[in-house]
Amino acid sequence: MIVPTLDPAAVEADPDRAVEDYVASLQALPMDCSRPLWEFHFLDFPTSEATSTVVFRVHHSLGDGMSLITLLLASARSAADPTRLPAMPEQPARTGAIYEPRHRQPLPSGALAAFVAWVWPYLALAWNTVVDVIFFAATIVFLRDPNTLFRRGDSQVTLNPRRRFVHRSFSLDDVKFIKNAMNCTYVNMIESGKSNDVAWGNQIGYILLPFHLAVHDDPLAYVRMAKKTLDRKKSSLEVIFTCMISELFVKMFGLKAGAFIIGRMLTNTTTTLSNMVGPTEQVEFYGHPFVFIAPTVYGIPQALIVHYQSYNSTIKVILSVDEEIIPNYTQLLDDFVESFGHIKDAASRLSTHVKKG
């Protein structure tokens, strides 16, 4: 438990910046390996969002994002009723794996046609999985993303200790509105009281997603392209195989081999995106209400890492940024907000047109 002493003048001048500077300084301080690899840092002064801030720093070796967030929420309680655990989103109607079709079409008449219609989704699943695993292996060995403004040159990809962490809140209802207007899916991963469904420790799989850098007149074109990519990825077991491959290498060749795979994948790609589902109501931790939850990560050679965390009626977008590559990181966050506004407005016009039609 750490209560740091900060410069009173800096705190009074800009408390938000004081928190940002302090969090950025933690990555330069090694954790004490003689103690459990977690720390609580208490910043007891008001900011624009909260009356105080708690920074929970934990080593990734203790668990992945899902297990750590679940552990944190299992220690919290509902602010409305402190006798119960936080309420989580209702589970979706889907009961099978995400890659299984939601609605099977009626089988055509004729034995051969019915057999082809039945076996085709499984053939597509097998083919897509093979292709995705090959691309994953190629990325580990030689395949690299092209150089852009968001990525260092191939010879310059290093762990830079100068990172900044900034975040902004979006309306969860607005996100759901866009989801419904574009007929996208929104899958909730965990539910309060189902701790047996969460594997403790690190159970990490990877999905490689192509990003197209382009300027479109229609803001919804970005959503359509992302939806097309994700629909294709749902018909693949890539995430399962990448997790199994990483675990196999660790068991056969040791931790250094597993670290090599992760390091090569992160070095040869541009950015990492991760999302976590949080409670649907305000929660409290030993009598102290949470205003927001903003998970992030450092120690990764990518210049930009994006995390999404839902909580109550908001979604928090958190950027972990290499400030040498992206010095205007606050402007990048403002661009997220502006782009989201354009997408929402376009979705509103689309929804109104559909209703009138």
* Nearest CA-CA partner of 274 in 68, 19, 54, 30: 68
78 exposure class (CB count in 10 Å sphere: 0-12, 13-18, 19+): middle
DSSP class of 108:
P
What number of other Cβ atoms are within 10 A of residue 246's Cβ? 21
Question: Is the Cα torsion angle 73, 77, 78, 79 positive or negative in sign?
Answer: negative
* Nearest CA-CA partner of 297 in 94, 71, 58: 58
Which residue stretches of the chain are H helix?
A: 8-13, 15-26, 65-74, 111-141, 172-181, 220-234, 238-253, 255-268, 329-356
What is the rounded CA–CA span in Å between residue 57 and residue 294? Answer: 12
Catalytic residue check, 60: yes
Active-site entry in 60, 103, 216, 307: 60
Active site amino acids:
60
